[in-house]
């Protein structure tokens, strides 16, 4: 892209925001219903984006109750009102269930309180009940104002001036029970709490050979139970949407005893609090415990997680999600006309979309209706693509058919890890091995990357060998950065010796380069003419062909946690600026997204060149900030963003320029970003994408029965990734043109469009692209592509 293109793009982006002036408009923001981690991030984004575009923003305390009571419950917010809340769980503006708002009298009072302050734009963060309430209020608005005018509470001029109420919803609910959105605010954080507990319980259960029954939240929705079962490899899971078949008691006990016979020292059973059987009768954790003790005599304990799941600090995913949704909600309110129906801002794949609120609520209620009428298949389908995929993947990975029932394919499929370790690699290997065995293949593990491949470090790996792998960080198979180029002949010999019919590569940019080398060598070595697919796994998130990589979410959480601690230390000492260096090679994903999740003042990345003038303006910005009540600063720097503007240079420059105003500290995070237990997102993503890769391999092998088939076509050597909203297999040779090989990054990176968002929330002038989002989308578009629900 040349300088003219850049200039034109900046002008067009600026135009996008210019016609979105909020001058003279007032926005009210409230949180309602049950609280969820990340609500504060959403409130912060709404307040700051609102102020940024020139609108007045009001906090409405205690949800609808505060709107009805008025007075000091509706207060104008300023920039500093939402400082230091990004990392706080719950909601700082309070939430309450409100009976008064359900009556017309209550809504009449609420309308009067809003009109008095000129508020005609509402941003509601809550569950389906809260959003339904907001929609009823919106429909009645003009009637309520007429009534207020007749009663003499407001004058005719006010009725005309405030004739329409615009409503935009964001779904804050840890249950992920709202149809139309892939993830609701709070779900990922609740999964973090559950997985922390499961990981802790596993160590004690292993010591005593115990069975644990874990009850998680989800009165009407089994999402938390299902995903946590997938993420920890639970033996059995109970969900409201998919009750176990008749005679499940016997099946479950057989499954538990089979697992014990395979030398597994513990069993984990996960139960959603709303679990039911096919007759809609509740299945309780105590019931399950009694059954296991009576039938099997195992030492069994019940742990009910309860409100722990709602608490704690929000995960990086939830902070970024909520910040994106909050900004999007303000844009939606400013673009709304009197004819615009109430909408929900939501996530589809990795894209923010707007959906009609009424349809989403209707669909959510349809799920409950289907469950009440015992139409459980319909209930699962109505929950959406993400839920269905999770359920099918869990079933395939949890229950092994007896060997004599598996149709053998007579094919050998090898799995290899390449590049630097990334959390979630082991979950991907486990998933591949089990899906491969279920498809009738013999699975081979290659140890120590291409180096081990050339030396013949290859062993068969069985179903039980990968038990308990999901929660382990690093790479159990071992991984090296070595490329196959120099040892192609040895690799071809090993392929022949072990009769390898297909290869699954799990790794980062080295894996991508390795795949290109193997592809180029196909005409010299016929052994390489087999289906090969790569699943991206690297903390840097720099693999062409995919918007996400396994391991990046775990690294992002490490960065965010560290930044939280550092900010806390800085607010104690006051007037201190921290400069933090993140990993990522030349890819600025971790620095940029870490900056967004941690509320940084700036993030220096290679993709957006900067010079001494930019550094100077950042110092001036921080100097101004020190005059406010927020006397601390946080600056992130990607390790390779500039040859000369090193972390030391920036630290020294800030120290010199900030003399007498603030002092500086620096921190290099280093390899702690590659370590640690994988986050729930990485476990789940690794499991699902790897299972999908194995299905592709099985399909390819079925197309070519017999040993002699040579795969020469481009589409038999692919990278599997998420692109926008779809899961795509892209031939590795076609991705060459999209790759900047010198800097080891894709030429186009989706997350760069979120860069202005970080700047706006840090009070910089920036141009935010709003053009993508004008239209309301239908709920559940079913296209030809394969949806990429995470």
Catalytically active residues, by annotation: 175
Gap between the Cα atoms of 200 and 308, Å rounded: 14
Helix H or strand E segment including 442: strand 442-446
Give the CA distances from residue 274 to residues 98, 127, 290, in Å, rounded to whole numbers and listed in that order.
24, 17, 18
CA 589 to chain centre: 14
Residues in the chain: 790
**Torsion angle defined by CA atoms of residues 288, 294, 298 and 304, in that order, rounded to the nearest 10 degrees:** 30
Distance CA 93, CA 39 (A): 10
For CA atoms 536, 542, 546, 549, give the dihedral sign.
Answer: positive
∠ CA 633-636-640, rounded to 5°: 155
Query: Residue 641: CB partners within 8 Å, gap ≥ 6?
Result: 586, 588, 591, 604, 605, 606, 610
Helical axes 385-398 vs 680-703, angle rounded to 10°: 80
Long-range contacts of 256-263 (CB under 8 A, 24+ apart): 256/211, 256/292, 256/296, 256/298, 257/296, 259/235, 260/209, 260/298, 262/463, 262/464, 262/467, 263/464
DSSP state for residue 310 in the 8-state scheme: G
Residue in the structure block whose two tokens are 């734009």: 121
| Strand duo 121-126 + 26-31: pairing | parallel
The alpha carbons of the chain give a radius of gyration, in whole angstroms, of 27
Spatial distance between the Cα atoms of 716 and 641, rounded to a whole number of angstroms: 36
C-alpha distances out from residue 334 to 29, 123, 370, Å: 14, 11, 37
């Amino acid at each position: 892209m040349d300088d003219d293109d850049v200039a034109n793009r900046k002008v067009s982006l600026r135009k996008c925001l210019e016609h979105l002036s909020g001058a003279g408009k007032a926005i009210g923001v409230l949180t309602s219903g049950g609280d969820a981690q990340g609500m504060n991030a959403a409130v912060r984004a709404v307040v700051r984006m609102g102020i940024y575009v020139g609108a007045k923003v009001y906090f409405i305390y205690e949800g609808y109750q505060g709107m009805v009571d008025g007075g000091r419950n509706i207060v104008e917010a300023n920039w500093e009102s939402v400082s230091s809340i990004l990392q706080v769980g719950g909601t700082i503006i309070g939430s309450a269930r409100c009976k008064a708002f359900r009556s017309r009298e209550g809504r009449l009072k609420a309308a009067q309180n809003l009109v008095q302050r000129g508020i005609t734009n509402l941003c509601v963060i809550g569950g389906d009940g809260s959003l339904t309430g907001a929609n009823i209020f919106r429909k009645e608005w003009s009637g309520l104002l007429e009534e207020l005018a007749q009663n003499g509470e407001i004058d005719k001029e006010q009725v005309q001036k405030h004739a329409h109420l615009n409503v935009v919803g964001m779904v804050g609910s840890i249950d992920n029970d709202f149809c139309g959105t892939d993830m609701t605010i709070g779900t990922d954080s609740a999964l973090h709490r559950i997985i922390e507990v499961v990981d802790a319980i596993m160590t004690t259960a292993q010591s005593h050979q115990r069975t644990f029954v874990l009850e998680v939240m989800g009165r009407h929705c089994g999402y938390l139970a299902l995903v946590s079962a997938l993420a920890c490899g639970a033996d059995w899971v109970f969900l409201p949407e998919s009750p176990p078949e008749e005679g499940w008691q016997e099946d479950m006990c057989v499954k538990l005893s089979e697992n014990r016979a395979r030398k597994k020292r513990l069993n984990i059973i996960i139960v959603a609090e709303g679990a039911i059987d096919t007759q809609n009768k509740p299945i309780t954790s105590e019931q399950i415990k009694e059954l296991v003790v009576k039938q099997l005599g195992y030492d069994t304990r019940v742990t009910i997680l309860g409100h722990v799941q709602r608490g704690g600090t929000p995960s990086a995913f939830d902070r970024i999600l909520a910040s994106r949704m909050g900004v999007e909600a303000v844009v939606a309110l400013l673009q709304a006309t009197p004819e615009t129906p109430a909408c929900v801002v939501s996530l589809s794949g990795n894209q923010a979309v707007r959906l009609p609120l009424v349809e989403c609520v209707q669909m959510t209620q349809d799920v409950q209706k289907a469950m009440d009428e015992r139409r459980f298949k319909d209930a699962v389908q109505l929950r959406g693509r993400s839920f269905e995929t999770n359920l099918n993947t869990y079933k395939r990975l949890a229950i092994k058919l007896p060997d004599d029932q598996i149709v053998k394919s007579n094919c050998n499929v090898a799995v290899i890890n390449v590049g630097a370790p990334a959390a979630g690699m082991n979950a991907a290997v486990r998933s591949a091995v089990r899906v491969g065995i279920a498809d009738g293949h013999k699975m081979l593990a290659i140890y120590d990357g291409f180096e081990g491949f050339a030396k013949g470090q290859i062993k068969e790996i069985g179903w039980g060998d990968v038990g308990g792998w999901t929660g382990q960080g690093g790479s159990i198979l071992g991984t090296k950065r070595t490329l196959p180029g120099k040892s192609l002949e040895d690799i071809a010999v090993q392929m022949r010796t072990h009769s390898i019919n297909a290869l699954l590569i799990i790794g980062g940019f080295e894996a991508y380069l390795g795949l290109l080398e193997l592809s180029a060598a196909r005409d010299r070595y016929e052994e390489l003419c087999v289906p090969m697919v790569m699943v991206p796994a690297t903390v840097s998130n720099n693999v062409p062909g995919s918007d996400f990589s396994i391991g990046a979410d775990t690294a992002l959480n490490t960065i965010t946690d560290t930044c939280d601690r550092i900010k806390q230390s800085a607010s104690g000492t006051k007037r201190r600026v921290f400069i933090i260096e993140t990993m990522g090679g030349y890819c600025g994903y971790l620095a940029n997204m870490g900056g967004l999740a941690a509320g940084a003042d700036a993030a220096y990345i290679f993709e957006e060149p900067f010079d001494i003038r930019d550094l100077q303006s950042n110092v001036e910005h921080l100097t101004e900030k020190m005059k406010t009540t927020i006397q601390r600063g946080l600056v992130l720097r990607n390790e390779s963003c500039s040859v000369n503007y090193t972390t030391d240079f920036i630290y020294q420059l800030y120290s010199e320029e900030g003399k007498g105003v603030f002092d500086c500290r620096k921190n290099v995070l280093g390899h702690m970003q590659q370590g640690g237990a994988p986050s729930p997102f990485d476990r789940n993503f690794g499991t699902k994408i790897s299972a999908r890769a194995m299905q592709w391999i099985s399909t390819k092998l079925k197309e070519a029965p017999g040993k002699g088939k040579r795969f020469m076509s481009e589409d038999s050597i692919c990278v599997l990734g998420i692109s926008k909203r779809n899961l795509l297999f892209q031939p590795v040779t076609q991705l060459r043109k999209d790759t900047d090989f010198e800097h080891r990054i894709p030429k186009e990176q989706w997350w760069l469009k979120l860069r202005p968002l970080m700047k706006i929330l840090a009070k910089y002038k920036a141009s935010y692209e709003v053009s993508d989002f004008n239209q309301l989308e239908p709920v559940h578009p079913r296209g030809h592509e394969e949806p990429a629900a995470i």
